[in-house]
Chains A and B, each alone.
Chain A
Amino acid sequence: MSEQKLNQVLCAVRGGPESRETVTYAIDLALKTGARLTFFHALDAEFLNYATIGPLSVVYQELVEMGKFTMLILVDRAKRRGVAEVNYVVWEGNIRKQLHQAAIETKAEVMVMGRPTRSPTQNVFKFNEMEKFAAELEAEGHLRLILVPDTPSE
């Protein structure tokens, strides 16, 4: 883990139990570097198109609220751990694009993410695709991507 001075750490997670390690890593990193920590949740509701029956607009609002609530729990956790500056953002749309955009707009030096798990439904990244995405981000000079629990991609 890098201990150099950082201004902004972006932690992109879903927020469930499987994110625990990733969140812990990001909090630790923010504490050690004095960086502002931003939790980032990208909501992709494309899967709702495969629901044959359903109140999609209402569900969409519920999903947004679920995302915000999840992020607020993480913010709460980070504050309890002593992170001075912490906030969250929930963006809607294609996750890959949103991650890319967040990397630019937040001006974060580091993005912390969990490795993708195998999933039965459409996933943002295919199982072995994450490192390629990390390399792309770094090559464009936006930020460094740290995949948890593995070591940084560099």
Chain B
Amino acid sequence: MNGLIRNPLSGIGYRVSGVGNQITAYRLLLPAFLLLLIWPWAAMDEAQAQETAVAVSPLLTGLIRDTQEQPVFDAHITAFSGKDILAEAVSQEDGRYTLLLVAGDPIPDEISIHVERHHFQAAEYAVNSSAIENLRQSNLLHLPIITLERRITPGFWIATLVFVGMLILIALGKLHNTLAALLGTTLIFAVSYLGPPLYEGLYIFHFEDALRYIDWNVIFLIMGMMIVIAVVERTGVFQWAAYMAYRLSGGRAWLLVIILMIVTGIASAFLDNVTTMLLMTPVTIRIALSLGINPLALLMPEVMASNVVGISTLVGTPTNILIGSYGGIGFNDFLSNLTPGVVLALIGLIVYNLYTYRHDLQAHQSGGGVSDVLLQRLAQKGRITEPDHLIKAGVVGAGMILLFVLGEKVHLLPAVTAVMGATTLLVWIKPDIEEMIEAVDWTTLVFFMTLFISVGAIQEVGLISYIASGIGKLVGDNLTLAMLAVIWLSAILSTVIANIPFTAAMLPVIGFLSVNIPGADSKVLFYCLSIGSAMGGNGSLIGASANMVTAGIAERAGSPITYMYFLKKGFPALIITVGLATIWLFIRF
């Protein structure tokens, strides 16, 4: 070690003295000058030497991974010599750690590394004698990767049960989504803090650890889009678009269905599906009643189109926002890799709906018809109420799309674009700010935050690893099999599980598969998840929030959509659309 610790000041003095040998005139002056120059430094010599010694203390570095070769952070690593502790460290986000031995102390002949982390079995590694000799020579030793095995604790079961319970509560509508997720998070923290004094295995994770799992990019992107939507929704553009569809169709019901599906689809690609359907459903029902058509013959195609087309952009669905942020998939990627498949699926969906509702759509020709007064009322309510705001929202919206597309080149995060767009719109329009703040659905943002924590809990205890490992074993190295498994499994499961928590839970699994399956680094499995989780929503009434709000409004207009009705009409649509989208993905990738 002494051979490496050099006083840099003495080194400088030596070199400059050499120069002085060549220039005789400076022989006397130069040392005096140098002495003056280095005197303050020399006074600090002792402190500097100590500081420098710390900087070059013997280092042991290494990497902690789990059995799926994923980095393990927050592992506690201790270097022992016998029973004496030499150094301690905590692994970072990338699983790396550095053990710093005390400078000047002799390096012992035996060193062992002990690794501990909650929810993993402890691991030991004995450093061999040649490695120790290397450490003595170079003061640096790269240790081999230490792999930690998962350990199932009572905390594992509690986190798993809490997560499953949360999914059930959301699926059954027994509790508001946010309340269900908040309850889950609270239970996890209660067990984590109050359980360990009774039994250490009850620990799940602490609050500080939980915060790491919250994806703030998602939170801010959703918040920004909510503000933009709040401005757009008040302009009456949805009602106008639906009325224009009615006018353009000229009373031809089949054409009305096609136009409404396209309008709803485009709106869903840029706004969230729930908002789109909340605004489209009442006006669609009025149009259907005016034409004497069964409202469900228009509503079902609309909501299905909303679920299908919503995934063509990054901001179209909350699931895409989750996927984009986790997988590093940008606005352009979604457009180029998914939109053609979505268009294909939409064409299939249109054909399917025209066939399925052919009797309802033909029936109106012989019946229906309302008075001119009612038609005038329909026209009156189908107007744009705030054209000025709509123009401004259109300009800002176009700018946002431009930034979504071009911003990737300068690493501009979509969340930043959304917040910039929202702020620009607020400054430009100067609406009642309190009204706008109220328009932000804070409960949804809390839902996402608590959902991230709940998913983080099952990730922390290892449930996600077990699922990933199981799927990994099932599909092996076969990318085709993996694509089919992800797309169809997520589609089928999305019919019974709320797709947002499902997607959030699946992301680490897809991340693992994308790294380990040859060819999956194209992120194709993320697109499979996007398609499966969104189009799967068409399979059942509870498969998507948009379905539920549509059914809620339809029921209030006397056209209830039962679970079985939706299943009967929606499940074939799922098969058709997911099938067509699968074909596209195989062509594309």
Partner of A73, one of B289, B447, B552, B555: B289
B282, CB-defined interface residue at 8 Å: yes
Produce 1/0 per residue, B543-573, CB < 8 A to A. Answer: 0010011011111111111110000000000
Also in contact, A52 and B557, with CB within 8 A (given A59-B278, A120-B541) = no
Is B562's CB under 8 angstroms from A49's CB? no
Bound CA span A119–B565, Å: 11
- Most interface-central of B275, B374, B447, B560 (chain A CB within 10 A): B560
Chain B, Cβ-Cβ closest to A62: B282
- Residue B279 is within 8 A (CB to CB) of chain A in the complex: yes
Does the CB pair A120–B561 fall under 8 Å? yes
| A-contact 0/1 string along B165-177, CB 8 Å cutoff | 0000000010011
- B370 contacts A13, CB within 8 Å? no
Q: Do A59 and B178 have beta carbons less than 8 Å apart? A: no
Contact for A53 among B274, B374, B378, B557, CB less than 8 A: B274
| Chain A residues near B234 (CB-CB < 8 A) | 55, 58
- Tell me if B261 counts as interface (CB < 8 A to partner A): no
Which residues of A lie under 8 Å from residue B286 when comparing CB positions? Answer: 65-66, 69-70
Give chain B residues whose Cβ lies under 8 Å from the Cβ of A135. Answer: none
Instruction: Name the contact of B559 in the complex, choosing from A16, A51, A55, A118 (C-beta under 8 A).
Output: A16
A16-B295, A66-B553, A73-B289 given; A54·B441 CB < 8 A:
yes
Query: Within 8 Å of chain B (Cβ to Cβ): is A137?
Result: no
B356 at the interface (CB under 8 A from A): no
A121 contacts the other chain (Cβ, under 8 Å)?
yes
Given contacts A54-B274, A76-B370, A66 and B230 within 8 Å (CB-CB): no
B67 to chain A, nearest CB (A): 36
> Hey, which chain A residues are within 8 Å of B374, CB to CB?
69, 72-73, 76
User: Nearest-CB distance from A11 to chain B (Å)?
Assistant: 12
Chain A residues near B441 (CB-CB < 8 A): 52-54
Distance in Å: Cβ of A74 to nearest Cβ of chain B = 10
Given A15-B558, A62-B282, A66-B282; A52-B443 close (CB under 8 Å): yes
CB distance from A63 to the nearest CB of B (A): 6
Q: Does B365 contact A (CB under 8 A)?
A: no
Bound state CA distance, A73 and B375, in angstroms?
10
A45 closest partner in B (C-beta) = B556
B229 CB–A CB distance under 8 Å: yes
Q: Tell me whether B549 and A51 are in contact (CB under 8 A).
A: yes
- Docked Cα-Cα span, A17 to B377, in Å, equals 21
Q: Is B74 an interface residue (CB 8 A)?
A: no
Note all chain A residues with C-beta closer than 8 A to B563: 120
- Evaluate contact between A121 and B551: CB separation under 8 angstroms: yes
Interface membership of B439, Cβ < 8 A: yes
B371 touches A119 (CB 8 A): no
Chain A residue contacts of B557, Cβ below 8 A: 14-16, 66-67, 70
**B444 lies within 8 A of chain A by Cβ:** yes
State whether B229 touches A14 (Cβ < 8 A). no
Q: Mark B367-399, 1 if CB is under 8 A from A, else 0.
A: 000110110011001000000000000000000
Give B140-181 as 1s and 0s: 1 = Cβ < 8 Å from A's Cβ atoms: 000000000000000000000000000000000100111000
Q: Is the CB of A67 within 8 A of B556?
A: yes
Whether A18 touches B560, Cβ cut-off 8 Å, given contacts A47-B552, A51-B278, A54-B278, is yes
Contact with A along B281-301 (1 / 0, CB 8 A): 011011001100011000000
Question: Considering the chains assembled together, what is the distance between the CA atoms of A118 and B561 in angstroms?
Answer: 10
Expressed in whole angstroms, the minimum distance between the Cβ of A41 and any Cβ of chain B is 9
Contacts of B215 in A (CB 8 A): none
Contact indicator B562/A119 (Cβ below 8 Å): yes
- Which of B233, B545, B556 interacts with A55 by CB under 8 Å? B233
Indicate if A109 sits at the interface (CB-CB under 8 A): no
CB closest chain-B residue, reference A47: B552
Do residues B274 and A121 form an inter-chain contact, with CB atoms below 8 A? no
**Complex: how many Å from CA A70 to CA B377?**
12
A99: interface (CB < 8 Å): no
| Total number of B residues with any Cβ neighbor in A under 8 Å | 53
Report chain B residues within 8 Å CB of A121.
173, 548, 551-552, 555, 560
**The residue from A43, A63, A65, A123 contacting B381, defined by CB atoms under 8 A apart:** A65
Please determine whether B282 and A52 come into contact, CB atoms closer than 8 angstroms. no
Question: Is the CB of B272 closer than 8 A to any CB of chain A?
Answer: yes
Interface string of A82-116 (1 = CB under 8 A from B): 00000000000000000000000000000000000
Q: Which residues of B contact A72 (CB under 8 A)?
A: 373-374, 377
Q: Which residues of chain B (252-308) have a CB below 8 Å from chain A?
A: 272, 274-275, 278-279, 282-283, 285-286, 289-290, 294-295
Residue in A44, A52, A69, A123 whose Cβ sees the most chain B Cβ within 10 Å: A52
B177 nearest in chain A by CB position: A52
B226 interface hit (Cβ, 8 Å): yes
> By CB atoms of chain B within 10 A, which of A54, A63, A73 has the most?
A54
B549 neighbours in A (Cβ, 8 Å): 47-48, 50-51, 54
Q: Which residues of B contact A13 (CB under 8 A)?
A: 558
Within the complex, which residue of A18, A47, A59, A123 is in contact with B279, where a contact is CB–CB below 8 Å?
A59
Which of A50, A55, A59, A72 has the most chain B CB atoms closer than 10 A to its own CB? A55
Residues of B within 8 A of A118 (CB): 562
Contacting residues, chain B, for A49 (C-beta < 8 A): 176
Q: In this assembly, does A19 line the interface, its C-beta being within 8 Å of a C-beta of chain B?
A: yes
CB-CB nearest in chain B for A66: B282
B377-A55 in contact (CB<8A): no
Instruction: Provide the residues of chain A in CB contact with B556, threshold 8 Å.
Output: 14, 43-45, 63, 66-67
Residue A128 interfacial (CB < 8 Å): no
CB neighbours (8 Å) of B559 from chain A are 14, 16-18
CB contact between B230 and one of A18, A55, A73 (< 8 Å): that residue = A55
Contacts of B439 in A (CB 8 A): 55
Task: Tell me which residues from 5 to 47 in chain A have a Cβ below 8 Å from any Cβ of chain B.
Answer: 13-19, 43-45, 47
Is A153 part of the binding interface, using a Cβ–Cβ cutoff of 8 Å?
A: no
Which residues of chain B have C-beta atoms less than 8 A from A59's C-beta? 278-279, 282
Residues on B lying within 8 angstroms of A by beta carbon are 173, 176-178, 226, 229-230, 233-234, 239, 272, 274-275, 278-279, 282-283, 285-286, 289-290, 294-295, 318, 370-371, 373-374, 377-378, 381, 439, 441, 443-444, 447, 541, 545, 548-549, 551-563
**Sorted from nearest, which 4 A-B pairs have the closest CB atoms?**
A16-B558, A14-B558, A62-B282, A47-B552
A interface list, Cβ under 8 A from B:
13-19, 43-45, 47-55, 58-59, 62-63, 65-67, 69-70, 72-73, 76, 117-121, 123
16 A-B pairs within 8 Å (CB atoms) are namely: A16-B557, A49-B176, A50-B173, A51-B549, A52-B178, A52-B443, A52-B444, A54-B549, A55-B234, A58-B233, A59-B278, A62-B278, A62-B279, A66-B283, A67-B556, A72-B374
